[in-house]
Chain A
Amino acid sequence: MPPAIVVTDLHKSYGKTRALRGVTFEVAEGEVFGLLGPNGAGKTTTVEILEGYRTRDSGSATVLGHDPGVAPKALRERIGVVLQQSDLSPLLTVRETHELFAGYYAQPRDVDEVIALVGLEDKRGARVKTLSGGQKRRLDLGIALVGNPDLVFLDEPTTGFDPAARRAAWDMILALRSLGTTILLTTHYLDEAQQLADRVAVLRHGEIVRQGAPAELIGDSGLTEIRYRRNGEIVTVETADPTRVLNELTSAALSDGEHLAELEVRRPTLEDVYLELVEDESE
């Protein structure tokens, strides 16, 4: 199967600001791909070029076999988008909004099925203006799915969610993946990428500084952190061989009759790797 998205050496400038400086990646069919990076790194610019909203200055991009710069109807039939910010008519109900968008597609999903999938059954007859922020976001997801897309773009889908709503959104996205839908996700939340993405790319200043499966990225860094408190001070040891270090540490403590307060062994998370990747330059 050809990849769902192929991006090669993508460049984009806004005036003098070089938003993208040679971005290259591929997203396989059925994959959940996460684009990570600080604000202004170029995540939304990349996604909006692939959605057909912005033109690229140079480089090539293929989405489901089409050039998104042309954004033919055939492509728009097969993609669903959740924009970072967009409004829907506040005066239509949840069900009507789904019906309205379903009418734009040749082979839409069943409206009530989609409403159930995004967990808005109780709000079916409620007008959009009465929904909470989290419910509106679920409505955004619902109308992105109602056209039965093969590829879904999610630009920061859970920003502003409380923890429970985020968990629910993650379950939805995982359910979507199990249906075989390809997903391109941008996010600020590293735990979100770690939970959802098969592979991630970290963007910084318009360039991809690292990409791979979250486990690979973490594996690359390889160090395990051991922390404990001694004489009121926190001691941190980073090691590539935690078994040996921990053994030495604890046997020494036992033979000295010492108590290692607050002992903690931590594998690095994607967040640690990410911070390392995006931070270094500012120091």
Chain B
Amino acid sequence: MRAIAHQLRFEQKVFWRSREAAVFIFIFPLLLYALLGSVYGDEIDGIPAVDILLAGLFGYGAANTAFAGLAIILVGRRESGVLKRLRATPLAPATYLGAVLLSTLMTFALQSVALLVLGGLGFDASMPENWLGFAGAIVLGVACFAGLGVGAASLIRSAEGVSAVVNVVVLPMAFLSGAFGPTSDFPAVLQAIASVLPLTYFIDIVNGVYLDGASLFADPAALAIVLAWGAAGVLIALRRFGWMPRER
């Protein structure tokens, strides 16, 4: 526990000192919310647009922070030899990864609070009907997308390419999953693609706890799909993740 707390303290220090990370990972979803919240009309399907968008950008935030952010951090550290150097210390790999995941969770939790504050004060958006479920959704989002993030980090070879690769995944996924607005008018093909993406189901679950006061476990099928994606990422990581730069 002490070892995790020690590593977590430095992970957070490094994260907040990195302007690129703080802007791209923390500010970007808030900025998109402010922009979209200003341009969308009053209501979408009878629900205030600012509420729909808040749930959507919460989903985008989870994918951006835990999937894109984590993959970028891990690939960068692996290729520059940071991870290799750590392996020669007594620090246990599980402790290190645990601290990195907790740090991601902390960042996303803070981002979620910031999103609620921005929504509530700036756009008069609703507050969660089920607060506990909403908190659970923060953990669920990190569990799913961090699993995918570590999996992606295991497959991406170069530190130069990682930002591009993860954004090519995250931005279209967010768009198709309805993170940036309703998708009911989308062509059937795009809706079909959306129907297998984890973010689609994650946003459904978020809508449930945030707007309807439903339980986090109200839709077991959606929950299972979200967790299965996370587990798939973890499986890839268990098979392929390496600590050494891919020099040879």
Contacts and interface: CB of A to CB of B under 8 A. Distances in A.
Interface of A: 14, 51-53, 73, 76-77, 79, 81, 83, 85-89, 91-92, 96, 100-101, 103-106, 147
A25 to B, nearest CB: 21
Contact of B14 (A52, A83, A89): A89
A52 B14 CA distance: 28
Contacts of A52: 87-88
A80 B2 CA distance: 22
Contacts, number: 62
A92 B14 contact: yes
Contacts of B248: 14
A127 B89 CA distance: 22
6 contacts: A53-B87, A76-B89, A79-B88, A81-B85, A89-B10, A92-B17
Contacts of A104: 3, 89-91
A53 B82 contact: no
B213 interface: no
The 7 closest A-B pairs by CB, nearest first: A86-B81, A87-B80, A91-B17, A103-B6, A104-B89, A86-B85, A104-B91
A250 B91 CA distance: 67
Interface residues of B, number: 21
A79 B87 CA distance: 12
Contact of A86 (B18, B84, B90): B84
A206 to B, nearest CB: 16
A35 B89 CA distance: 23
B246 interface: no
Interface centre among B18, B85, B88, B90 (most CB of A within 10 A): B88
B143 to A, nearest CB: 26
Contacts of B91: 104
A73 B95 CA distance: 13
